[in-house]
Amino acid sequence: MSKSKSRASLVAGITALVLSILATIPFGAGPASAKTLSASEVRSEMLGKTIKTRRFGFAITMRYAPNGKVSAKSIAGTLNGTWRARGNRICTTFPSGPAKGTQCVSFEKLGPNRFRSSEGVRFRTVN
C-alpha cells in the first residue's frame, strides 16, 4: 500500500471513530451543576449552528439543520445524514461511510456555547 493511501486510510479510520463519538454525543460525568438538556433545549442551543471539536489532532465540524439533515466534516471528507429527537437524546443516522448506522446521545451544557456529549466529547457551537 502506498504511503498516501495508508495515510488516507488512517485519517478515514480516525474520522470514523470521531464521528461515531460525536454522533452519540452523550456526555460523561461532568460538574455537579451540569444537567442533561431536553430535546427542546438541544434544538435551541444547537440547531442551525456549527458544532466544532478536535479529536486526535483533527478538526471536526457538524451542523444539525432544522429540516432533520445533519452534516459532519473533517479533513477526510463530508458525511451527510439525518437526525431526530428521541426523548432527551438526539439520534443521528448516516446511511454510509465510516459512521454508518444510527447512534443516539444526550448533551450537557458546560457554559456559554460549550457542551459535552454523553460519550464525553466536549465541543462548542458557533454562529
For the chain, which residues make up each domain, given as ranges?
A: 3-126
The tens digit of pLDDT for each residue in 112-122 reads: 999 999 989 99
Of 86 and 12, the structure prediction assigns the larger pLDDT to: 86
Residue 60 has pLDDT above 70, yes or no: yes
- Percent share of the chain, pLDDT over 70: 74
Residue 8 has pLDDT above 80, yes or no: no
Confidence category of residue 32, pLDDT binned at 50, 70, 90: very low
- Output the pLDDT for position 30: 41
Residue 16 has pLDDT above 60, yes or no: no
Q: Which CATH number fits domain 3-126: 3.40.50.920, 3.90.780.10, 2.40.128.640, 3.30.700.30?
A: 2.40.128.640
- For 56, counting Cβ atoms within 10 Å of its Cβ (0-12 exposed, 13-18 middle, 19+ buried), the class is exposed
Of 57 and 30, the structure prediction assigns the larger pLDDT to: 57
Instruction: Report pTM.
Output: 0.70
- Output the pLDDT for position 31: 45
Of 30 and 42, the structure prediction assigns the larger pLDDT to: 42
Q: Are 110 and 120 a contacting pair, CB within 8 Å?
A: no
Q: Are 85 and 39 a contacting pair, CB within 8 Å?
A: yes
- Output the pLDDT for position 1: 56
